[in-house]
Structure 1
């Protein structure tokens, strides 16, 4: 299948490398308002450059469009690609608000194209093992869960582009970094029911938050604690998820949530535990998540299946971020109900 990339910034290179590594996939076009930004992709991959998206979308051979622009620009680009009949792989977050997110989902359904959202952490080996443990009910009733992203993004990172750290186009640590961990939290724990959050901009000269903490009560009754920041000195300190159940405790941790720091499950033999730990240690990153998402999209198109990470999944993660923001702004708990896409 033939891919095109819209927005040739930092994340676009991950998309291009993933496409290159997939048998039967080819990057045939790129689009950016800055011609210089496209030079790398034309020289390395032979992709045709387009300044205007409408001209690129006229190319019939394009099957899938990867949208890699600043988040605040996603909605109109995704709608235009959907109207052109192109399947869409959309970088997180889907948009900066739920109205635009719903517009994207509706446009894809209306024009019968598939939509996948880039939450690649789901495909990490340790995460896949934890999901299997949960699916089998091995932890029993869940008591509570901790989710942590304490990372470093220095001022130079935010100064790379004027849109970084803005509320209109980028967001802060919750929207930009921790949304992947929040996606995993929802994937593991289900629908949140109540949220309380506090946030601040402590060390970075940005509009959005650089530190946030929050509490979640899930519909199951389990409690979640979320701690996120980009203020850690001097490098990424921890990304982790810990789940406490009546029959086990499991923690995936390290600077990038790649390893089991605790795997204690009732009835799981020492041999089985060691086999899981050794399997993850041998290949902690696994196949790159972007590549997994693209391969899954190709399969979804061929076999008319739902992508592994759907628009509704992306909307749920964004909705949780926005709920944290609302609670912090109001300085009070807020209550959530399962929502349907507003069309």
Structure 2
């Protein structure tokens, strides 16, 4: 494996069977289409593209060239999130009426972050587009495509670094209220996920990069639930990794299996498009002050 900052050497090399695309977001359609046209299987970092047209360009190239493709969402391979999905599928909490997810970073208080490509409009659309993509995909994975979204996204610290804080409220197809909060000015955290159903409540702690690195206030479960009538919380026994890098390393095996054709994609190109649609709709809501219904044409 080598790291290449140009596409030519990798895509023309007969010994290269697959590529991991971690280029600036605006370049994803161009690079992925070139890789697919060269017959290379593709792992793509988030978000898929900055527009639905860009997503469609990738999907068309992948289908036409019959190459394997996956988005690299670490939240889909996190053991705690897999357990949450299992609990929801089993109906353990009953009818889910409220889901809350907090997903934070400290990027906007890092020195010199204003000099990175993430804040350049020709390469990206701010950190909300770049990293709120993670919890948006979690919502899609757990609940399916939502019915609508209302959002507030703003730049509250430095005008050089857009989208430092935001909140999106989705309504699922079953009517549940789903809240996603992302602050990129957070230096600590603790509680990341709350799910409330008519049979119980689930809590998850230390589920993002900021909270994983936060000093713990004491021992306690990382993922637990309390069902109606039960005297105490049930601990999942699934501990938070010692560092957020462990979550990223957990992507390795599923990515390799997908590229070899022995495992399913972590997320399909079509799912990546749906996440982009959700992100673009949230921006539209924040700009207009309106609730946006799906499908959203971008």
TM-score under structure 1 length normalisation: 0.75
Cα distance in structure 2, aligned partners of 1:254 and 1:298: 27
> How far does residue 59 in structure 1 lie from its aligned partner after superposition?
0.9
Q: Once the two structures are superposed, what CA deviation does each residue of 1:251-290 show, in whole Å capped at 9, x if it has no partner? A: 212362666354213588969x34x23x325x56699444
Q: Is the 8 A contact 1:122 1:289 kept in 2?
A: no
Cα distance in structure 1, aligned partners of 2:204 and 2:46: 22
Q: Is the 8 A contact 2:254 2:263 kept in 1?
A: no
> How far does residue 206 in structure 1 lie from its aligned partner after superposition?
2.7
Matched, 1:324 2:282: yes
Higher mean C-alpha displacement, 255-264 vs 240-249: 255-264
> How far does residue 238 in structure 1 lie from its aligned partner after superposition?
4.9
Q: Once the two structures are superposed, what CA deviation does each residue of 1:132-159 show, in whole Å capped at 9, x if it has no partner? A: 1112121111111112224322152523
Q: CA RMSD in A?
A: 2.7
Of 274, 293, 296, the residue aligned with 2:254 is 296
Higher mean C-alpha displacement, 190-199 vs 144-153: 144-153
1:301–1:212 distance in 2 versus 1, CA, 3 Å: closer
Q: Is the 8 A contact 1:63 1:87 kept in 2?
A: yes
Matched, 1:280 2:235: no
Matched, 1:244 2:196: yes
Q: Once the two structures are superposed, what CA deviation does each residue of 1:99-149 show, in whole Å capped at 9, x if it has no partner? A: 101111110111010111111122122111111111212111111111222
Q: Is the 8 A contact 1:158 1:206 kept in 2?
A: no
Q: What stretches of structure 1 of length at least 5 have no aligned partner?
A: 1-26, 33-51
Cα distance in structure 1, aligned partners of 2:164 and 2:194: 22
Asked which structure has the greater RCO (Cα within 8 Å, sep 6+), the reply is 2
Cα distance in structure 1, aligned partners of 2:270 and 2:42: 14
TM-score under structure 2 length normalisation: 0.85
2:264 corresponds in structure 1 to 306
Q: What stretches of structure 2 of length at least 5 have no aligned partner?
A: 213-220
Matched, 1:264 2:216: no
> How far does residue 221 in structure 1 lie from its aligned partner after superposition?
0.7
1:215 corresponds in structure 2 to 169
Cα distance in structure 1, aligned partners of 2:61 and 2:230: 46
Cα distance in structure 1, aligned partners of 2:115 and 2:102: 26
